[in-house]
Amino acid sequence: MPITYTSGEQIEVYRFSIPVTIGVPLLALFLQAFLPRRLPFFSIFDLPLLVTIFFAMARRNPITGLFTGAGIGLVQDMLGAYPIGIFGIAKTVVGYGASSLGAKLDVENAGARFLVTLGFYLVHQAVYFAVARGMVNLTMNWSWSRGIVAGLANAFLGVGLYFVLDKFKQRA
């Protein structure tokens, strides 16, 4: 498996310009709000989550990762009909987890990215499910089959998306 444990010195840390840092998450949020009305199948994807994972893994800093996740998740909550914080908490967990993982493992190749995205998609759904049921009292039905199918779809899209976003990386 292409995931390899690497020492901190061996791992490259990247940063992004301010327009990319702000523009890419906003574009992801915009497309997530806009495209499903035109292409209903697109609702299976979670572009803000993929962007969260990408930035978290590239920066490899848990603090930056969790704040990136929290910011993107909270904006996603603001656009939705439910109380603010459900996506915020879920993406905070993903941002923290992905950046912590990125700091320890080399996740630069496609196979590793695929597995990491699939795993974090399921983590995200599980946290969302727990918060929505436990705190907001929403009726949620957990479906493994749907979760895995959606996770695979997001992982495939994520690998392609990360390849595009790699172009914006700058070495720190």
Partner 1 sequence: MESVLGRHRNLIIFLGVLFLQALGLAVQVKRGGPDEQDTRLIRIWAVDAITPFERALIRVQNGASGIWQEYFFLRGVRAENRRLNEQIEQMRLDQVRLSEDAGQARRLQQLLAFKEQVIARTVPAQVIGSSGSDLSKSIYIDKGSDDGVAQDMPVITASGVVGKVLRVYPSTSLVLLINDQSSGVGALLDKSRLQGVVHGTPNGELMLEHIMSDEKVAPGETVLSSGGDQIFPKGFPIGTVTHVSPGREMFLNIKVKPAADLNRLEEVLVITAKEERESVAGNGGRMRAADILAQRLPSVPDKPLTASTPGANPAGAKPQTGLQAKTSSKPITGNTNMTAGASPAGTAKTASPAAVNANADPQSPHINMANRPERVAVSGDTAAKSKAPAENGLSPQVSLEPDATPAKPLNPPSAPQPAPSEDTPH
Contacting positions for partner 1 (CB under 8 A):
26, 29-30, 32-34, 36-37, 40, 43-44, 46, 48, 62-63, 66-67, 70, 74-76, 78-89, 92-93, 96, 100, 128, 131-132, 135-141
Compute the least distance from the CB of residue 1 to partner 1, in Å.
26
Helix spans in the chain (H): 18-38, 47-59, 62-79, 86-104, 110-134, 144-165
Compute the least distance from the CB of residue 127 to partner 1, in Å.
10
Residues belonging to the chain: 172
Name the residue nearer to partner 1 (CB basis): 33 or 159.
33
Name the residue nearer to partner 1 (CB basis): 63 or 164.
63
Compute the least distance from the CB of residue 35 to partner 1, in Å.
9
Task: Tell me the chain's radius of gyration from C-alpha atoms.
Answer: 15
Compute the least distance from the CB of residue 11 to partner 1, in Å.
16
Compute the least distance from the CB of residue 55 to partner 1, in Å.
16
Name the residue nearer to partner 1 (CB basis): 70 or 118.
70
As given in the structure block, the two tokens for residue 116 are: 């990491």
Name the residue nearer to partner 1 (CB basis): 1 or 62.
62
Q: Are 56 and 94 spatial neighbours (Cβ–Cβ below 8 Å)?
A: yes
Name the residue nearer to partner 1 (CB basis): 16 or 88.
88
47-76 burial, b for 16+ CB within 10 Å, e for fewer?
A: bbbbbbbbbbbbbbbbebbbbbbbbbbbbb
Residues β-bridged to residue 4: 106
How many Å apart are CA 109 and CA 98, to the nearest integer?
Answer: 15
